[in-house]
């Protein structure tokens, strides 16, 4: 048990160390790119985890906030010259605000009805993005200038490096927030809501308030990620971001790693993102990557719905008690 | 916003009702499955598209009329639905929570396979009468829509006959009302669920066949269709078949009116709008049961 | 302390509660009895905010509470237990005691999950019922009777003035019932008011100072135990249905 506790502290530090030096060691742009995407996937899954894992409300609509962040950043960059690395942190507050409003409506429903409503949110956003073309440029989307700073473009070899570090910063912030929430009364309340919402309400937890807050907070980090993403690809269009698949990916990652745990989503991201990259590069022309994702999701939901980390935890605990009783004999 | 002339208004109503009938067929399976199993089958849109593609293949290669192909798609997908329920859905522990993700996984799997086979090319089925219309009192009744409406009504009628005049139908209705009571009177709820799921899927197959000649589609259309059919059953009341019919007609008409009065591109918003409004103001929809809050 | 006036609630055509007006006096232990289906739990659910009444009003300490959310009603000082014990099964005993929230404040939300004084209060209550050794055990691993006790003391954590108990003796062995009765009397002496729904007649007759009888959603009788026991309307309501009343058990 002690070993597990030590591992819980040491492993993240080791991971952080590796991630800090990664772009300096791994100079291949291709692998730097994958790492940026992996970090982003970890951010999105961990953020989603706040409403989907702690509170147990499976939202398939968070892609809407991802896209909204991306569009806000792209638009303000083109209109006012705001640099995404700065603006995204503030614009994501707008995204969170929108999420609070959306959540206030959507969270009146529960269970499968809630999932349905969140899917509808993505459709509405996509429809808006397609049709309000005066602002969003419709189906053609928005492009941004090539990444740089202060008017100087970054050289192609080093292009990915700043993105790596800002994504790493975002991930650290997300994990820290997730951790603080978990430790707080707010977090306990969310978990109580997940366990038995009626009972939680009966013992004095204002479930609507807690849920809406969690929904809004979970949208913030995803919004930041979306903003950085639109700059990373210098391009954003409605189909790109307002896609259920984007939501499903972050949900799958969180569930695979362990929904409701702190590190599960991160673990899930480090497994799924490289895998996803490989699948798309192998079979990208066809749509078969959808089938692979669907297959993995199906497998996880049927055979290990609690995810890897909790399963691992259980295994270790059982192994621990076995060795202890063995040594006692 | 353009106010239509009286003639255009009536014409739009006609089109709306005709297409509403097909929508009703498409949604009835979804609401049936929910009523019996309390599962929202998010793969429903994918089933519709699968039915559409099968119809397409039958038409392209064997010149089988899309309406005739219903005779093939329904039993075929009945079998598929039965298999899905028997070997996948029955394994789920807490169906209400996890079924959405499981059925969504199935939808992804299907979309991927269809995409691999058919690519993203947009397709539609164009029988000889595709552009024909019957003119009655100066109003256009497109043949495809008319045949679609008629076929939809026939299938819905058959569904009702099964539900109200057969033993198994009665068992389904009993399970919809109270699964535990149904078990107590000797109904094998898991077999009934399998049958109901398969039945729901097969009506979607029929809907897909009709879809193929009225709309254009490709594998990724499935997400649009699940959004539409879900909106319909929510408005009608989840688990209520008559509700689905009424809601389908309403939404069919509203969609056409929006297309005429605003633009075609905004017309999908009708569905999402009603979905939201219903869930906020009257969650049980027009004809659904109030789900008692667990105190 | 608690007054309901003409509370009515129907479910799809059936009147579960029909123009029900009851009063619970401060400091009392009031019993709410009646055959199955007479509307007792529905009334509880309405009082605690889980159902909205179709008509009528409820006042708690002269403040109207009908239509409020259950969490608001909890903060006003009403606590309840459930007919079928409801706990956060995967949480530990201690966590179940800490989760109840006495009031809402932004600082409270972000603050540390388990505070020192809360932990002390929880341990006090656990000691009182003799379950402190189970502090870190998941509640689902406890016995049924222990779970019922935990549910009861968890309610006490938010220090309610009025406590609604829904069939506290349901499925519990006689020794435990004795213990629960002592606890209720103890708490009552300390100033807590009780309204309890119960089928165990002995418990009701011994514990309650005032009894209200419901049948088919309406109040048909009330008074002190001895009066109610002999009231012909009450006897008819119980014996007329297929209920067996354990008058002496």
Tell me the per-residue pLDDT of B246-282, one tens digit each, with 9 for 90 and over.
999 999 999 999 888 888 878 888 898 888 888 778 8
Compute the C-alpha angle A49/A55/A56, nearest 5°: 80
- DSSP state for residue A52 in the 8-state scheme: I
- Predicted pLDDT at A108: 85
Is the CB of residue C128 less than 8 Å from the CB of residue A217? no
Determine the Cα–Cα distance for residues C51 and C54; give it in Å rounded to an integer: 9
- Predicted pLDDT at B273: 87
Q: Least CA distance to C47: which residue of chain B?
A: B295
Residue B119: CB atoms within 10 Å: 13
Is the CB of residue C17 less than 8 Å from the CB of residue C7? yes
**Chains touching A by CB (3 or more pairs below 8 Å):** B, C
Query: Pairing between strand C29-33 and C210-215?
Result: parallel
Q: Least CA distance to A213: which residue of chain C?
A: C109
Kindly tell me if the per-residue pLDDT of B50 is higher than 90: yes
CATH of residue A7's domain is 1.10.3470
Q: How confident is the model at residue C159 (pLDDT cuts 50, 70, 90)?
A: confident
Nearest Cβ partner for C50 among B289, B290, B293: B293
Longest dimension (CA), chain C: 57
Ranges of chain A whose pLDDT falls below 70: 1, 284-285, 325-329
Kindly tell me if the per-residue pLDDT of B294 is higher than 60: no
| Sequence-ordered alpha helix ranges (H) in chain A | 2-25, 29-49, 63-80, 84-106, 111-131, 133-136, 160-183, 185-195, 197-202, 207-232, 238-241, 244-257, 264-283, 288-303, 308-328
Q: 3-class DSSP state for residue A141?
A: coil
* Cβ contact, residue pair A185, C86, below 8 Å: no
Q: How confident is the model at residue B175 (pLDDT cuts 50, 70, 90)?
A: confident
| Distance in Å, alpha carbon of A53 to nearest chain C alpha carbon | 15
Q: Which domains does chain B have, with CATH numbers?
A: 6-119+129-281 (1.10.3470)
Two structure tokens written together for B83 = 């298999």
Query: Pairing between strand B133-136 and A235-236?
Result: unpaired
Is the CB of residue A88 less than 8 Å from the CB of residue B262? no
Determine the Cα–Cα distance for residues C76 and A197; give it in Å rounded to an integer: 19
How many distinct structural domains can be found in chain A?
1
Determine the Cα–Cα distance for residues A204 and C100; give it in Å rounded to an integer: 6
Kindly tell me if the per-residue pLDDT of B295 is higher than 50: no
- Predicted pLDDT at B207: 92
Q: 3-class DSSP state for residue C30?
A: strand
What's the average model confidence in pLDDT over C68-78? 90
Residue among C50, C104, C118, C165 with most chain A CBs within 10 A, to mutate: C104
Determine the Cα–Cα distance for residues B270 and B226; give it in Å rounded to an integer: 14
As to burial, measured by CB atoms within 10 angstroms (0-12 exposed, 13-18 middle, 19+ buried), residue C220 is middle
Q: How confident is the model at residue B47 (pLDDT cuts 50, 70, 90)?
A: very high
**Chains touching C by CB (3 or more pairs below 8 Å):** A, B
Is the CB of residue B152 less than 8 Å from the CB of residue B25? yes
The model's pLDDT over C117-135, given as tens digits with 9 standing for 90+, comes to: 888 888 988 888 888 888 8
Query: Pairing between strand C55-60 and C63-64?
Result: antiparallel
Q: How many CA atoms lie within 13 A of C81 on its CB side?
A: 26
Question: In sequence order, what are the beta bridge partners of C9?
Answer: C17
Look up the ipTM and state it. Answer: 0.85
The model's pLDDT over C160-183, given as tens digits with 9 standing for 90+, comes to: 999 999 988 888 888 888 888 888
Residue B110: CB atoms within 10 Å: 23
Q: Which contacts (CB < 8 Å, 24+ apart) does range B166-172 have?
A: B168/B192, B168/B195, B172/B32, B172/B36, B172/B196, B172/B199
Question: In sequence order, what are the beta bridge partners of C8?
Answer: C55
Residue among B108, B109, B221 with most chain A CBs within 10 A, to mutate: B108
Straight-line distance from the first to the last Cα atom of chain A, in angstroms, rounded to the nearest whole number: 19
Instruction: Please report, rounded to a whole number, the percentage of residues in chain B having pLDDT higher than 90.
Output: 38
Kindly tell me if the per-residue pLDDT of C241 is higher than 60: no
Nearest Cβ partner for A294 among B109, B116, B231: B109
Q: Is C4 on the interface with B (CB under 8 A)?
A: no
- Predicted pLDDT at A1: 63
Determine the Cα–Cα distance for residues C159 and A185; give it in Å rounded to an integer: 18
- Predicted pLDDT at A285: 67
Residue A72 or residue C37, greater confidence: A72
What's the average model confidence in pLDDT over C201-212? 87
Distances (CA, A) of A259 to A189, A190, A250, A266: 17, 13, 11, 10
Two structure tokens written together for A42 = 């970890």
Which residues of B fall within a CB distance of 8 Å from C48? Answer: 295
Two structure tokens written together for C102 = 């006495």
Two structure tokens written together for A133 = 């073309």
Instruction: Domain of residue A265: give its range.
Output: 2-328
Q: Least CA distance to B41: which residue of chain A?
A: A112
Report the predicted TM-score, pTM, of the whole model to 2 decimal places: 0.88
Two structure tokens written together for B5 = 């002339």
* Cβ contact, residue pair A290, B283, below 8 Å: no
């Amino acid at each position: 048990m002690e070993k597990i506790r030590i591992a819980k502290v040491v492993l993240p530090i080791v991971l952080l160390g590796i991630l800090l030096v990664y772009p300096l060691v791994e100079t291949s742009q291709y692998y730097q790119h994958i790492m940026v995407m992996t970090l982003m996937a970890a951010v999105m899954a961990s953020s989603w985890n706040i409403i989907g894992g702690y509170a147990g409300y499976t939202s398939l609509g968070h892609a809407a906030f991802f896209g909204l962040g991306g569009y806000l950043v792209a638009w303000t960059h083109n209109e006012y010259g705001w640099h995404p690395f700065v603006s995204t942190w503030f614009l994501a507050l707008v995204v969170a605000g929108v999420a609070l409003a959306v959540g206030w409506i959507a969270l009146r429903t529960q269970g499968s009805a809630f999932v349905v409503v969140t899917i509808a949110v993505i459709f509405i956003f996509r429809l808006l993005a397609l049709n309000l073309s005066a602002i969003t440029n419709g189906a053609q989307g928005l492009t941004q200038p090539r990444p740089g700073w202060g008017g100087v473009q970054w050289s192609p070899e080093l292009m990915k490096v700043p993105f790596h570090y800002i994504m790493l910063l975002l991930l650290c912030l997300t994990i820290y927030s997730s951790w603080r929430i978990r430790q707080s009364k707010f977090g306990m309340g969310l978990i109580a809501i997940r366990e038995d919402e009626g009972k939680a309400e009966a013992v004095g937890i204002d479930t609507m308030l807690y849920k809406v807050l969690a929904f809004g907070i979970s949208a913030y980090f995803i919004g930041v990620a979306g903003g950085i993403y639109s700059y990373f690809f210098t391009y954003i269009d409605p189909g790109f971001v307002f896609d259920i698949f984007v939501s499903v990916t972050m949900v799958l990652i969180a569930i695979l790693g362990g929904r409701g745990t702190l590190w599960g989503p991160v673990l899930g991201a480090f497994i799924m993102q490289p895998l996803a990259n490989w699948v798309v590069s192998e079979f990208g022309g066809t749509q078969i990557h959808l089938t692979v994702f669907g297959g993995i999701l199906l497998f996880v939901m049927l055979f290990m719905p609690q995810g890897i980390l909790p399963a691992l935890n259980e295994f270790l605990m059982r192994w621990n008690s076995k060795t202890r009783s063995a040594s006692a004999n | 916003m353009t106010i239509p002339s009286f003639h255009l208004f009536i014409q739009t109503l006609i089109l709306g009702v005709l297409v509403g009938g097909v929508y009703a067929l498409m949604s009835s399976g979804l609401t049936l499955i929910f009523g019996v199993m309390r599962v929202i089958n998010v793969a429903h849109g994918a089933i519709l598209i699968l039915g559409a593609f099968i119809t397409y293949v039958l038409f392209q290669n064997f010149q089988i009329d899309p309406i005739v192909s219903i005779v093939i798609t329904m039993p075929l997908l009945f079998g598929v639905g039965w298999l899905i329920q028997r070997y996948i859905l029955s394994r789920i522990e807490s169906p209400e929570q996890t079924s959405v993700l499981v059925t969504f996984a199935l939808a992804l799997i299907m979309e991927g396979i269809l995409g691999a086979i058919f690519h993203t090319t947009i397709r539609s089925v164009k029988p000889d009468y595709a552009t024909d219309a019957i003119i009655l009192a100066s109003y256009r009744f497109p043949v495809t829509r008319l045949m679609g409406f008629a076929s939809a009504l026939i299938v819905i009628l058959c569904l009702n006959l099964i539900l109200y005049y057969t033993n198994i139908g009665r068992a389904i209705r009993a399970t919809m009302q109270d699964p535990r009571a149904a078990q107590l009177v000797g109904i094998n709820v898991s077999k009934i669920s399998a049958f109901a799921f398969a039945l729901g899927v097969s009506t979607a197959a029929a809907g897909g066949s009709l879809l193929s000649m009225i709309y254009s589609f490709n594998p990724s259309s499935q997400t649009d269709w699940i959004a539409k059919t879900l909106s319909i059953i929510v408005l009608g009341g989840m688990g209520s078949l008559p509700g689905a019919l009424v809601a389908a007609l309403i939404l069919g008409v509203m969609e056409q009116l929006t297309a005429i009065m605003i633009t075609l591109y905004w017309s999908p918003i009708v569905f999402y709008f009603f979905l939201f409004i219903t869930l906020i103001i009257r969650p049980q929809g027009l004809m659904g049961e109030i789900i008692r809050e667990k105190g | 302390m608690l007054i309901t006036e003409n509370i009515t609630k129907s479910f799809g055509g059936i009147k579960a509660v029909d123009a029900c007006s009851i009063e619970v006096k401060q400091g009392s232990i009031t019993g709410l009895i009646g055959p199955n289906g007479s509307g007792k739990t529905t009334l509880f659910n309405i009082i605690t905010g889980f159902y909205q009444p179709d008509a009528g009003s409820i006042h708690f300490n002269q403040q109207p509470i009908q239509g409020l959310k259950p969490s608001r009603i909890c903060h006003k000082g009403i606590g309840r237990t459930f007919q079928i014990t409801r706990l956060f099964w995967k949480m530990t005993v201690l966590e179940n005691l800490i989760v109840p929230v006495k009031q809402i404040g932004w600082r409270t939300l972000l603050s540390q999950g388990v505070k020192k004084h809360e932990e002390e209060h929880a341990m006090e209550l656990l000691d009182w019922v003799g379950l402190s050794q189970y502090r870190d055990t998941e509640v689902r691993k406890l016995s049924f009777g222990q779970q019922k006790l935990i549910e009861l003391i968890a309610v006490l954590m938010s220090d309610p003035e009025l406590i609604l108990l829904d069939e506290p003796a349901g499925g519990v062995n006689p020794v435990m019932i004795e213990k629960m009765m002592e606890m209720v009397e103890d708490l009552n002496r300390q100033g807590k008011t009780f309204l309890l729904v119960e089928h165990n007649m002995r418990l009701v007759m011994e514990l309650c100072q005032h009894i209200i009888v419901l049948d088919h959603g309406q109040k048909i009788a009330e008074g002190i135990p001895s009066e109610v026991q002999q009231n012909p309307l009450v006897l008819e309501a119980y014996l007329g249905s297929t209920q067996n009343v354990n008058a002496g058990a």
